[in-house]
Structure 1
C-alpha cells in the first residue's frame, strides 16, 4: 500500500427490491471534512489520468460497474516514493479508496458499458490545485492485468 492511502471495506445491505450501499460517515477513517460530492462516469476500456490534487483528499466509491485505480507516489519524503498501487473497486469488491493530496491517480473502466465513481471530497473543486499529466508521462503499463 502507498503511504497514507486507505482502503475501507463498506457495508452492502441486502434488501428486497435493491441493496443499500454505504459510502461514508463522519466518524470513518479517511473523513477529513466535507467539501463536495460528485460522480464521474467512465466507459469500459477508457483510462483517465494522470492527476493529483495538491490539497484535496479523495474518497472514491464505485457503486456501479468496475474500475481499476492506479496510484503513483512521487512524494520525495514518502516511504513509498517511486511505488505504484492498483486495485479494483465494484459492487462485488465494495469499498472506499481514500487518496491523500500529492498522490497521482489514474483509473480505467472495467465493467459493463459504463461505471460510476463517486468522490466525497474534503473541499470544493478548485482547478488551481490540480496537477495533470498525460498517460505516457508516468511509466505504467495500462494493458497489464491486476
Structure 2
C-alpha cells in the first residue's frame, strides 16, 4: 500500500506533494514506511541520505534544475520553507512553510525550481531523510545556493 494523496484541505505551491506517513507501533518498537516504488508520487531514485540539524540552525537556500527533492523527518521537528521561483508557475513567488516531525510523520516532495531551506525547531537535534531523484555529482552539481538572509526570497527566518 503506497502513498496516494496530499494532506487534505491544504493547497501547496504548484507541484508540491505532502503525504502523511503511516507509523506502525508494536511491542518491539515502530516502523515508518517512507516510500515505495509503487507510490503514486515515486519519482525514481538517485540518492538517499540523512542530515542532522542542531536546534535553531538554518540551512538555506537551495534550488535544483533537474532534481526532485523529498524530505521526511525521522527524529525531531523541522520547519521547511519553500519559495516558488518558477516564472511560469501559477504559484510564482509564493512561500509555503511546512512543519515536519516524528509525531506526525509526512513526506514532502517538491519539484525543480523551488528554493528551499529548513530550520530545526525545539531543543533537540533533528534528523531528516532526503530521497532525491538524482544523485549529487560534485563536479557538476545540480544546485544553486543563496545565503539564508538573502533579500531575493521574501522570507525572514526566526
Q: Same fold (TM over 0.5)?
A: yes
Higher helix fraction (1 or 2): 1
> How far, CA to CA, are the matches of 2:13 and 2:55 in structure 1?
26
Query: Bigger relative contact order, structure 1 or 2, given CA contacts below 8 A and separation 6+?
Result: 1
Cα distance per residue 1:41-96 (max 9 Å; x no partner): 00111110000111111111101101000000010000000100011111112110
Partner of 2:149: 136
**Structure 1 runs of 4+ off > 4 angstroms?**
none
Partner of 2:131: 120
> How far, CA to CA, are the matches of 2:40 and 2:123 in structure 1?
30
Partner of 1:90: 101
Do structure 1's residue 76 and structure 2's residue 91 form an aligned pair?
no
> How far, CA to CA, are the matches of 1:6 and 1:76 in structure 2?
20
Q: TM-score, normalised by structure 2?
A: 0.86
The Cα RMSD (Å) is 1.1
Do structure 1's residue 58 and structure 2's residue 73 form an aligned pair?
no
What secondary structure is seen at the aligned counterpart in 1 of 2:26? coil
Q: CA offset at residue 113 of structure 1?
A: 2.2
Gaps of at least 5 residues in structure 1 are none
How many residues matched? 143
